[in-house]
Amino acid sequence: MENLTGMDTLREGDKGQVEKMLVSGKMRSRLCDLGLIEGTCIECLHKNHGLSAYLIRGAVIALRKEDTSVITVRKTKADT
């Protein structure tokens, strides 16, 4: 069962695992520095006006919608 979606479409409480990053250059490097690499588990904590907070590797990181729209995630169960 394919459950792939853009990271920007996750709702508060949704969890997922990074599958693919469709970005290169400085932005890809920045996202990798924040811990967003293929296989990383994430949780959407809060969304507001184009800015969202995610739990990434134990840290809460705020990202803009345009930055998360280039990241494909596989949604997982919220209780896992």
Name the token pair of 76. 């997982």
Angle made by CA atoms 59, 79, 42, in degrees to the nearest 5: 30
pLDDT tens-place string over residues 15-63: 999 999 999 999 999 999 999 999 999 999 999 988 999 999 999 999 9
The domains found in the chain, sorted by start residue, are 4-76 (2.30.30.90)
Backbone angles phi, psi at 4, to 5 degrees: -90, 140
Instruction: Please report the pLDDT score of residue 80 as a whole number.
Output: 44
26, 42 contact by CB (below 8 A): no
Q: How far is CA 48 from the centre of its chain?
A: 15
Rounded CA-CA distance 5/9 in Å is: 7
